[in-house]
Amino acid sequence: MQCLKNLVRALYKPKLIVNEKRKFDVLNVIRRYQHESDETLEEYEETKEEKDIYRGLLQEYIGTSIIGHRVFVIQPYVKWGVKKKRNTTPQLQLSEAVALINTLPNWTVVGEKIVPLLSLEKKKLIGSGALETIKKDIANCSSATAIFVSTNSLKFIQIAKLQEILHLPIYDRYSIVINIFREHAKTTEAKLQVALAEIPYIKQKMIDFTNYRPVRINHDDKVKEILQTKEKKIKNALKKLKEHRNMIKQQRQSYGFPSIAVVGYTNAGKTSLIKALTEDAALQPEDKLFATLDTTVHQGLLPCKLKVLYVDTIGFIQDVPETLIEPFVVTLEDAISADILIHVFDISHPDAKAQIQHVQKTIQSMVDENKVIINVANKCDMLEKQDIKEILPDDTITVSAIKLTGIDLLRLKIEEEVTKSPNLVKTRIRVTMGSTEASWLYKETTVLNVEPDPKNPQYLIMDVFMTTPVFYKFKRVFNV
């Protein structure tokens, strides 16, 4: 009887201890990934004068979201030709424009107008007749305090012409999304990335303004120098951050935790999906655009008990210039280098097809052709029509992250793909009970099953998962 008790103690007590140690290792990787990155950033300081000048530039060229606005939304679209969008409709584009405005605190939409155009490049963006109609529509919304022209980036001359006639501040998609980013940026990293995205926009508007009003003296050298210095400091800080992320990534890989990056269009349900997969009650998804700007890592457990890391990422959106998203590419590329990608999309969204295509096109240049991508159609519980197969990518798994429909099936699919990884070894090892080898395997690998050797109870048969480097480390350390 005592021998049996000793056997049970040998089988389970060390496992509990080392599993707690391994859990600590996972949490340590996550903590360092999410928090210590700020400590690696180059100290960034500005004088009061520099802050005041930059604040003035922001107000002049991007505007502020603090006071809020009552917005009249104009959705232009190209009627025909090569620039005409064929995978969406002007009404769906307008709906997204309205959603962008509603994402900002204290901003509301008081009127909207779809405007057909031959081109988005003309100095006078909208013709005189259409402008007069818009002017009357705005007059009927006497409380309007701003106009949002939902195109990626307006030229300064286009803004000036519209302001001369409509007598209200003009925003484009770049400036609206920047204001959303500023609202949602919480960490030092995100704030720096947002600031870096602002600078090209400000610079371009300064150049446009100089060309539009050549008689005005060019912006003084001091302003240009402040922008150049600020941009250089931010880039240096983000470069240092990238080096730190590479170090954490190597550490993560050395522990042998497979990683799964979740990507998708903004508000597709990435955070909700991760919450469902990890059962992490601390995660609080928000039903708004660009709720997540920071790349975060969360521990999950597959059915086979293998620990994995899910990486949440910034969402994508159509019709914004590359310079707006470019500062976030550093962290996005790090996430996309994960072992597996999950592309999640909101299948209930009326513009789902265009959103899917936009994400596919955006990540295409970032991944190699052998990257495993699992397509997940989220929010299936919100569908009124079930005939959606024509827009779904191949082998799509349909889920509801809120109601947990299809989540178990998705976990099994992730497990299937993870365990096929050439960098992951599943093996059976015979070790002495209570030996250093057994303790090492508990600490450094994922132990799937343990049972006494039926031929000799002094030995254990251990089924384990480990990365290839860890496997060779085991062989080297124990000379097997």
DSSP code per residue over 323-365:
HHHGGGHHHHHHHHTSSEEEEEEETTSTTHHHHHHHHHHHHHT
For residue 278, which of 426, 448, 401 has the smallest C-alpha distance?
Answer: 401
End-to-end CA distance of the chain: give it in Å, rounded.
Answer: 34
pLDDT digits (tens, 9 = 90+) for 103-133: 999 999 999 999 999 999 898 899 989 999 9
Residue whose token pair is 């025909």:
80
Distance between alpha carbon 55 and the CA centroid of its chain, in Å?
A: 27
- In the DSSP assignment, the letter for residue 404 is T
Tens-of-pLDDT digits for all 480 residues of the chain? 445 445 444 444 444 444 444 444 555 445 444 444 444 444 567 778 888 888 888 888 888 777 889 999 999 999 998 888 888 899 999 999 999 999 999 999 999 999 999 999 898 899 989 999 999 999 988 789 999 999 999 988 899 999 999 999 999 999 999 999 988 888 888 888 899 999 999 988 888 877 766 545 555 778 888 899 899 988 888 888 777 777 766 766 666 678 899 999 999 999 999 999 999 888 888 888 888 787 788 989 899 888 889 999 888 888 888 888 888 877 787 778 888 999 999 999 989 999 999 999 988 888 888 889 999 999 988 876 555 666 677 789 999 999 999 999 999 999 999 888 777 888 999 999 999 999 999 888 888 889 999 999 899 999 998 878 788 889 999 988
Contact present, 178 and 59 (Cβ < 8 Å): no
